[in-house]
Amino acid sequence: MSEHWNEDLIPVEQAKTLDGLFNQRVRRSPDAVAYTSFDRETKRWEDFTWRQMAAAIGRWQRAMAAENLHEGERVGVILRNCPEWVAFDIAALGMGLVTVPLYTDDRPDNIAYILDDAAIRLLLVQDAGRWKKLAPVTVECEALQRVLLLDSSKEAKRFARNDERVMRVSDWLPEQDAEPRQRDGDGQALASIVYTSGTTGRPKGVMLSHRNMMTVAHGGLTAIDCYKQDVFLSFLPLSHTLERSGGYYLPMLAGARVAFSRSVAQLANDLTEIRPSVMIAVPRIFERVHGRLLGQLEKQSPLARYLFDLTITVGWRRFERQQGRAGWSPKLLLWPWLDSLVASKVREKLGGRLRVAISGGAALSPEISRVFLGLGVPIVQGYGLTETSPVISVNRLKDNLPQGVGKPLRGVTVRVGEDDELLVKTPGMMLGYWNNHAATAEIIDAEGWLHTGDQARLQDGHIIITGRLKDILVLSNGEKIPPGDMEVAITLDPLFEQVLVVGEGRPYLSALVVLDPTRWVDYLKAKGLDPEDTRLLHDKKILRDMQKRIGALLSNFPGYAKIRRVTLLLEPWTIEAGLVTPTLKLKRARILERHAAEVGAMYADGAT
């Protein structure tokens, strides 16, 4: 690391609260760039300094004060990541209000449930289009007194004219800038209610204090260094606690800059334009990049494919040697050549400046880790739950065990309990579930241990997740199988977009597989078959071929991990259909219900 990189960390004790943290940062570096955002009208990237953000927050607070909101009341936000998200959040927290973040693509009925459950008084919405879908389901939400639309379109104006609750932000905010409020707040006070997008039942409201999120963000800084010169690319939604603690409050503690990505679809362009040094993502993002790399390789010569594989092999050996787990090998002499020929070109597509990429939110397949680490992309996996604000552990750059999720953060204690369940005590431990004492008592025991529901083992202090208690499939012969790792391995093939392994109470394992439509067409054309013929989804020869393809992907798994039957589908499982959570986790029970007939058919001919 060059001498030009320096730290400027704000101590948690000095900040006290999240709004206190913001005020401290403004004092320390008023003219440094805090945020970079793309202006859709001017089609240009725009910078905002900490001083400019402070003036905007003061305006938001003056407008909020006019709404007669009282300390402890809840305000909701449904926005893409942008400077206004930050302004709204810090303004609300500085007035003692509680922020409830909502996913922009969540289903209207789910959002209505949260608005009602949290008794949200004021709601900030991205645009008129989203409000149009929400308006009919919020009629019953009695607490909701003000709806703010961020866009200034004619449709937004029409909504404001026809509904006294609705106003455009441009009409609601005072014109003059103002100083943000300075207060001596209580760090233990409730700062946010984050609704977990549960894979079963209604979402539960996780109550997090200022100190919960701030101490976890600070713990992250003790695990992975962060500098004033760092640039974070923010594209995981801020309603996701990993992005909130790690990609928003953590850079504020460190004085780093955050650039808001335009969208996941434009991520490839944003990476090369922003050239981030830090990136936080979920495995799906790395899987997509990996899929694209494989797709490009398929079209290249056998020599190009050989060189790519050789780069990964040599790069992986180099990584293992750097970690102290492998000795020197003559192959390593090839690295400078392979790096300039292959690896550096891939890193350039990620901006060419990436110092660390953090993966969390779900398991990252060791195979994908190996590819990126082999290409010299410093990727570390972390682990946590919304209930723990959220980070519990993360791999360190110099102590990186890709098959694990790292060592616990500073101040976090873990142990393995009954049924190999991982138990945790952490300063990030939630205050409890909103209005749900029974659920709180279920997850936090009398001794104060939080039960994660994940099975794990500890290896030299590293946590290795081995399965999920609830997701374990028990076959009719009593064999217990965690399907998650198998599903991750199968989706490594770009042809397979989504996978659900089935087998609870059955004699063998089967899989429901959603295909990538473009690659399915290519596959059929290569075989001289008609892509328009949907009967081919049930063709016995093709199904056998798919089974073989899946078998190859699972070749390193234990003997029990054999998929005996496959159902091919073209319609993806979506959030709108209620089959996937906003954090892209599959809702097993819902999917099984939707495809009950197909699952039945896979077991119709008895045991194999």
Q: Is the pLDDT assigned to residue 107 strictly greater than 60?
A: yes
Q: Is the pLDDT assigned to residue 585 strictly greater than 70?
A: yes
What was the pLDDT predicted at 199?
Answer: 56
For range 207-227, the mean pLDDT: 97
pTM of the predicted model as reported, rounded to 2 decimal places: 0.87
Q: Which of 280, 313, 330 is the last residue of a domain?
A: 280
353-398 confidence digits (pLDDT tens): 999 999 998 888 888 999 999 999 999 999 999 999 999 999 999 9
What was the pLDDT predicted at 606?
Answer: 57
447-474 confidence digits (pLDDT tens): 999 999 999 999 999 999 988 887 888 7
Mean pLDDT of the chain: 94
Integer CA distances (angstroms), 295 to 349, 493, 545, in order: 15, 10, 19
SS (H, E, C) 49-81: EHHHHHHHHHHHHHHHHCCCCCCCCEEEEECCC
Q: Is the pLDDT assigned to residue 184 strictly greater than 70?
A: yes
Q: Is residue 219 part of a domain?
A: yes
For range 120-131, the mean pLDDT: 97
The residue with greater pLDDT, 397 or 508, is: 397
The residue with greater pLDDT, 440 or 176, is: 440
For range 222-248, the mean pLDDT: 96
Q: Is the pLDDT assigned to residue 607 strictly greater than 60?
A: no
Q: Is residue 142 part of a domain?
A: yes
The residue with greater pLDDT, 479 or 109, is: 109
Lowest mean per-residue pLDDT among 427-436, 478-487, 528-537: 478-487
Question: Could you tell me the pLDDT band of residue 1, with boundaries at 50, 70 and 90?
Answer: very low
The share of the chain scoring above pLDDT 90, in percent, equals 83
Q: Is residue 332 part of a domain?
A: no
Q: Token match 């320096």: residue?
A: 6
Q: Is residue 98 part of a domain?
A: yes
Quote the CA–CA distance of 294 and 100 in Å, as a whole number. Answer: 40
Q: Is residue 407 part of a domain?
A: no
What was the pLDDT predicted at 485?
Answer: 82
315-342 confidence digits (pLDDT tens): 999 999 999 999 999 999 999 999 999 9
Are 177 and 195 a contacting pair, CB within 8 Å? no
CATH number of the domain enclosing 534: 3.30.300.30
Q: Which of 231, 264, 280 is the last residue of a domain?
A: 280
Q: Which of 249, 280, 311 is the last residue of a domain?
A: 280
Quote the CA–CA distance of 543 and 566 in Å, as a whole number. Answer: 7
For range 585-601, the mean pLDDT: 92
Q: Which domain holds residue 483?
A: 473-602
CATH number of the domain enclosing 47: 3.40.50.12780
What was the pLDDT predicted at 177?
Answer: 85
Q: Is residue 354 part of a domain?
A: no
Cβ-based neighbours of 488, under 8 Å, separated by 6 or more: 283, 363, 365
Question: Could you tell me the pLDDT band of residue 608, with boundaries at 50, 70 and 90?
Answer: very low
What was the pLDDT predicted at 201?
Answer: 67
Q: How many domains does the chain have?
A: 2
55-93 confidence digits (pLDDT tens): 999 999 999 999 999 999 999 999 999 999 999 999 999
3-state secondary structure of 590: helix
Quote the CA–CA distance of 251 and 217 in Å, as a whole number. Answer: 9
What was the pLDDT predicted at 2?
Answer: 45
For range 188-195, the mean pLDDT: 98
What was the pLDDT predicted at 43?
Answer: 96
Quote the CA–CA distance of 472 and 485 in Å, as a whole number. Answer: 11
Q: Is residue 455 part of a domain?
A: no
Q: Is residue 129 part of a domain?
A: yes
Integer CA distances (angstroms), 6 to 226, 227, 254, 391, in order: 9, 5, 10, 24
